[in-house]
Amino acid sequence: MKTPQFKELEGRSPQFFILMIVLAAIAAVGIYSAFLMHHEGHIITGMTNRIVWGTPHVFAVFLIVAASGALNVASIASVFGRKIYKPLSPLSMVLSLTILVGGLMILILDLGRPEHLIDVPLTQFFYNSMPSRWSQSVFGWNMILYTGFMGIVLVYLWFTLERRFNKYTKAAGLFAFVWRLALTTGTGLIFGFLVARPGYDAAMLAPMFIVLSFAYGLAFFCLMLIPAYSWSGRELGDAIVNRMKTLLGIFVAAGLYFVFTFYIAKAYSADAAQGVISFLLFGDNNYSTAFWFGQVLLGGIVPIALTLLPWFKSRGALIIASIAVILGGLSQMYVTIIGTQAYPMPLFPGKVVESVTNDGGIAPYSASIYEILLGLGGIAVAILLAVFAMNVLRILPASLADKDTDPHHTAS
């Protein structure tokens, strides 16, 4: 196993420019959609006073969860000492940063008054710093967790790329690993702490989001790594690809287990959660379709089969599995975020509740094009920044051939 040589992507081919232009165009259209949402108001979205978080949040929360998962590869190398993943660490860190930027961009642009964010440092970092005023807002904590994550991963990246500081990489990696667990815990608890809504209100959402993040992040990572090597003509050996493939399958299976346990526990409880769970899982609606066909079949069973069964050996299988994991992840967020809101809250047990705001009924929702474009814009920004980073920074090893990466490789 050699010391890897890192090299920028050349980025001079017409295909590279076309890719960058297409990504930039999608990002620009997404940002323009957000501008229209601010100009006209959220009335041009599908969101209402009942479905207060819509499609932008599906994309944003998915990306934020995937961002922490994208750091896995680096963590496996520096925290758990698996040397084969070490050459991939810088890409893993960069990707975790760019995916987080994409997710946060959607979240911020969806705000009703993003310009009021100027107050946040004052409230979260200064006013609320007094112990008597410590914020109880999970969003407030997350603002610190997200910005902190960016700072920590940047330092981690710096220590990894700058040879003089390599000795600190392990410590930085451990700190970043603990921080990313806190970050995804915070993201899960945005929902877990909503005690008024029986469909959420569970501490288990935090570990569930962490396990889901492993799969979402690794899928995103594979979808960046394999094309980057294939399109730039660099060698990517089977040793590393097969390891990631198996790992993805295990992560997806673990995620399914958590999802199964979450829903079975909710369904078993004798309280109001039963109603919302049977609505989400067995109702005649888009959410149960998204759950069974999107989250379970496409996001679970298909990638498990493609990654763990011995018949699918091609690299294409990993690509398809990764795409399926991402589509399954978006379905999961759609069910978790929008589906759970659509079901009425248990205000008056034993009563039929009617009002002008449809208190007792299922809240209708259909995403508007502006929401979808904003979400796709966030994904485009994440990819665009990552490709740009590969183009200007030495974060990709010149070769990931088996002889260069696999400590157990023997020339045949």
Minimum distance from residue 53 beta carbon to another protein (Å): 7
- Dihedral sign for Cα atoms in the order 159, 164, 170, 172: negative
Cα separation, 290 vs 285, in Å, equals 9
- Residue 341 engages another protein in binding (rule: CB under 8 A): yes
**CB of residue 355 to another protein, shortest distance in Å:** 5
Instruction: Report the alpha-carbon distance of residue 81 to residue 225 in Å, rounded.
Output: 21
Length of the chain equals 412
- The region that residue 81 occupies, defined by phi over 0 for left and psi between -120 and 50 for alpha, beta otherwise, is left
**Using rule CB under 8 A, residue 348 touches another protein:** yes
Binding mask 41-70 for another protein (x = CB under 8 A): xxx---xxxx-xx-----------------
**What's at 8, amino acid-wise?**
E
Q: Which of 36, 359, 393, 403 binds another protein (CB under 8 A)?
A: 359
Is residue 398 close enough to count as binding another protein by CB under 8 A? Answer: no
In the region spanning residues 292 to 321, those forming contacts with another protein, defined by CB under 8 A, are: none
Using the rule CB under 8 A, which residue among 66, 84, 190, 256 binds another protein? 190
Decide if residue 285 touches another protein (CB under 8 A): no
- Structure-token pair, residue 3: 């010391």
Q: Yes or no: say if 53 and 341 are a contact pair by the CB < 8 Å rule.
A: yes
Pick one of 347, 366, 369, 392: the residue that binds another protein (CB under 8 A): 347
CA distance 48 to 268: 31
Binding of another protein at residue 134 (CB under 8 A)? no
Q: In angstroms, rounded to a whole number, what is the distance separating the alpha carbons of residues 298 and 293?
A: 6
Our CB check for another protein shows the closer of 15 and 136 to be 136
Single out the residue of 123, 232, 274, 285 in contact with another protein (rule: CB under 8 A): 123
Among 29, 82, 135, 285, contact with another protein (rule: CB under 8 A): 135
Tokens 């018949």: give the residue.
311
- Neighbouring-strand partners of residue 79: none
Binders of another protein among 364-383, rule CB under 8 A? 364
270 is an interface residue for another protein by CB under 8 A: no
Binding another protein (rule: CB under 8 A), the pick from 12, 163, 196, 407 is 196
Count of chain residues binding another protein (CB under 8 A): 54
* DSSP string for 373-392: HHHHHHHHHHHHHHHHHHHH
Helices 205-231 and 238-268, packing angle to 10 deg = 160
Residue ranges binding another protein (CB under 8 A): 38, 40-43, 47-50, 52-53, 111-114, 116-117, 119-120, 123-124, 127-128, 135-140, 142-143, 190, 193-197, 341, 345-348, 350-359, 363-364
